[in-house]
Amino acid sequence: MDWETLARELAVPSDAKIVLLVLDGLGGLPVDGRTELETARKPNLDALAARGACGLTTPVLPGITPGSGPAHLALFGYDPLRTQFGRGILEALGSGVEVGPEDLVARGNFATLKAGLVSDRRAGRLATEKNARLCQKINAAIPSQRDIETRLYPGKEHRFVARFRGEGLSDRLSDADPQKEGKPRVPASPLAPGADRAAAIVNGYMDAVTDLLKDEPVANTILVRGFSKFPSIPSMAEIYRIRPAAIANYPMYKGLARLLGMTVIDVGAETSALFDALDKRYKDFDFFYIHYKKTDAAGEDGNFAAKVAAIEEIDALLPRLTALGPDVLVVTADHSTPAVLKGHSWHPNPFLLVSRFALPDEVTRFSERDCGRGSLGRFPALQVMPLMLAAGLKLKKFGA
Amino acid sequence: MDWETLARELAVPSDAKIVLLVLDGLGGLPVDGRTELETARKPNLDALAARGACGLTTPVLPGITPGSGPAHLALFGYDPLRTQFGRGILEALGSGVEVGPEDLVARGNFATLKAGLVSDRRAGRLATEKNARLCQKINAAIPSQRDIETRLYPGKEHRFVARFRGEGLSDRLSDADPQKEGKPRVPASPLAPGADRAAAIVNGYMDAVTDLLKDEPVANTILVRGFSKFPSIPSMAEIYRIRPAAIANYPMYKGLARLLGMTVIDVGAETSALFDALDKRYKDFDFFYIHYKKTDAAGEDGNFAAKVAAIEEIDALLPRLTALGPDVLVVTADHSTPAVLKGHSWHPNPFLLVSRFALPDEVTRFSERDCGRGSLGRFPALQVMPLMLAAGLKLKKFGA
């Protein structure tokens, strides 16, 4: 019997409020002997660690570096090895792009092509306004490819979502993105029988766009990846009998939340906006997923100091969260993003759970190494949801 | 390959004596900073912890609160997620009720009905003698329902086992028990096609009994739950090649032991009776399961002090057990029953294993938090049986 089946059998509604604060990419690696978390001054996180039970979660499997999609799925109790879908669909849903059951979507970047090689995968982090103008130009000039309606939806900086609307398009395509700079463009390749037509349409479209942009100084090509169609997945409300809300600013996380049936509470980019939204909607839901992006963004940039600052920034605002007195409060991450790696990593995530029914351990600082000595030990992220629901008395007894 | 298959392949008889002492519901939560175990004075348990290897076991899955059945199954090496049966069958077998392959059994309570609502689910914890008289009266007045023979077997206080004897009765019925006080009686509902007839018979019987008891001052209705038929399950002797005995006082645990093919050694309610039985039968078996109920009972009553006292009571008698010098001694629990929760919980169980072949760790006190630092770490209760058998040299090498 798997967790979903068990949860459907055992979940019972309760009044308890659960808050899951995800500090994206929180875990790190040492510079001069200390990780970002060990370096940061974060009295509020440390106080929570001292009050609660701590541990380390494994996002997917030891040694496996997860993308944001699988890492978040695990936190919400969906087995990331069984529930997979392209990041394109998440980005599209999060951006508010209307996606129908036959649509093929993907996420993309404007990029710079020089002498036949991709010299900058982000086109110098293009201005968001310029991105919007380019998408408009492309949509006007290239409204379709063969009988398929094509459309780009601008995102932030160099990012966009591409939608291919028409019947019979497979999403079993490799990324049309060399992933690294200094390499030539690569076409999407079919990964399954029947995906040839989708590959031809995508590649034809990308060639047409590159031709259209040939005189642009920086954004003179596009890269597209994460092809996906609309997946069907049971909602958190259905499985856990909770009323879940997501407080997030970035499209991808809002998209994932929508896919799992959470109500998405849109917020601005300021960190305080997360807590404004929580205050305002606290009475309306019993499960809150709050997503904080700055820790991951700084890690991806390889900026150790910025990541330390991002930790200190969220820490300073935590009293706004604890003042609400949630019955269950978890602070953790989806995956690690050590600044020294400039990207996601396979390392486990620091985890703390504060509740009347969690046995406090001896951990008094919230860090990778301190949490490693916590009473919860090391456990799969897939078990975060059962632990939170249990502490909220939202799971009845299994068997007599 | 699952554990059962592996055990059948590797198990070999040996002279080693294994004792598994289960302190039911042992784990707790703090009151004024200390759990029941941390509060109790228990020099003998602490000495065993110091001599042995310690850890924490997860009964079923993190966050899942197990009933006694699944929790014990895991301890005996039977996957609780794959092996399920109603508690009624356990209670019936434990009470010595003869159960045939076509019988439907359930466990029940006498209860108090006032103004159409169940005001006391336990009829004021009815005197056991009164219970016996009422069952006799009911069995005489209502010997059958339609063509089905009906019979109540009195247990302790307000408890009884109900047996419905006849062909084609399904056990896929919901509990005929509102579970909470202040609610009206609820009928058993069919949970599967073909269970309608069983539901109608059970509900008709319960109405007839309630009518018969209408002038009783306290015990004027019955509640019935845990409908089950006789399951078939391979015995511990067959899988592990051991000669197992159970020393227990409560029906449910004796029932489970019988279901797994253990020889049940009946004992009285005094704690010393457990050790009298062990002394007397020590030469006859090589695996002893000893069940101590008082820790759980006190936890269920929310009585922290009584639970502390129950721990101290068993601790004081432990020299009688260690004097026998078992080759393998495990002290653990089936599940936690924190007094603050007044019921089972999902928290892991303290575990200690003493044997010539167990590596002692640094743990010197037997408690939830101390065991959390033990060398065995946190592991599924399903691995307790392999660890005990291994330490008793009752498992041969896997592969060449």
The stretch B129-149 carries a mean pLDDT of: 96
A11 touches chain B (CB under 8 A): no
Give me the pLDDT at residue A37, please. 98
Smallest CA–CA separation between B114 and chain A, in Å?
A: 27
DSSP string, B180-231: STTB------B-STT-HHHHHHHHHHHHHHHHHTTT-SS--EEEEEEEE---
The stretch B194-202 carries a mean pLDDT of: 95
Give me the pLDDT at residue B95, please. 75
**Which chain A residues in 44-73 lie under 8 Å from chain B, judged by CB atoms?**
none
Work out the percent of chain B whose per-residue pLDDT is above 90. 87
Smallest CA–CA separation between B363 and chain A, in Å?
A: 14
Give me the pLDDT at residue B1, please. 78
For chain B, the average pLDDT equals 95
**Does the interface predicted TM-score (ipTM) exceed 0.85?**
no
Find out whether A87 and A224 touch, Cβ atoms under 8 Å: no
In this predicted structure, the answer to whether residue B246 has a pLDDT above a threshold of 80 is yes
| pLDDT, tens digit (0-9, with 9 covering 90-100), for A125-171 | 999 999 999 999 999 999 999 999 999 999 989 999 999 999 999 99
Q: Which H/E stretch holds residue B352?
A: strand B349-355
Secondary structure, 3-state, A367-389? CHHHHCCCCCEEEEHHHHHHHHH
Residue A377's closest chain B neighbor by CA? B378
In this predicted structure, the answer to whether residue B97 has a pLDDT above a threshold of 90 is no
Give me the pLDDT at residue B142, please. 97
| pLDDT, tens digit (0-9, with 9 covering 90-100), for A196-245 | 999 999 999 999 999 999 999 999 999 999 999 888 789 999 999 999 99
| pLDDT, tens digit (0-9, with 9 covering 90-100), for A1-41 | 789 999 999 999 999 999 999 999 999 999 999 999 999 99
Find out whether A333 and A384 touch, Cβ atoms under 8 Å: no
In this predicted structure, the answer to whether residue B57 has a pLDDT above a threshold of 90 is yes
In this predicted structure, the answer to whether residue A399 has a pLDDT above a threshold of 90 is no
Confidence of residue A251 (pLDDT cuts 50, 70, 90): confident
| pLDDT, tens digit (0-9, with 9 covering 90-100), for B261-311 | 999 999 999 999 999 999 999 999 999 999 999 999 999 999 999 999 999
**Which chain A residues in 350-369 lie under 8 Å from chain B, judged by CB atoms?**
356-357, 359-362
Count of beta carbons in the 10 Å neighbourhood of residue A2? 11
List the alpha helices (DSSP H) in A213-358.
Answer: 236-240, 251-259, 271-281, 294-300, 304-322
- CA–CA distances in Å: residue B183 to residues A105, A164, B121, B223: 53, 57, 10, 12
Confidence of residue A84 (pLDDT cuts 50, 70, 90): confident
Give me the pLDDT at residue B9, please. 96
DSSP A162: E
Give me the pLDDT at residue B3, please. 94
Contact A361 B369 (CB under 8 A): yes
Q: Can you give the pTM of this predicted structure?
A: 0.80
**Any bridge partners for residue B145, and if so which?**
B148
Residue A358's closest chain B neighbor by CA? B29
In this predicted structure, the answer to whether residue B313 has a pLDDT above a threshold of 90 is yes
In this predicted structure, the answer to whether residue B94 has a pLDDT above a threshold of 80 is no
Q: For strand B244-248 and strand A148-154, is the pairing parallel, antiparallel, or unpaired?
A: unpaired
B228: which chain A residues are within 8 Å (Cβ-Cβ)? none
Helix (H, G, I), strand (E, B) or coil at A63: coil
Q: Which of B70, B82, B377 sits opposite A398 (nearest CB)?
A: B70
Give me the pLDDT at residue A122, please. 94
Q: Which of A377, A396, A399 sits opposite B80 (nearest CB)?
A: A399
In this predicted structure, the answer to whether residue B87 has a pLDDT above a threshold of 90 is no
Size of interface A-B (CB pairs under 8 A): 85
For chain A, the average pLDDT equals 95
Confidence of residue A83 (pLDDT cuts 50, 70, 90): confident
A116: burial class by Cβ within 10 Å (0-12, 13-18, 19+)? exposed
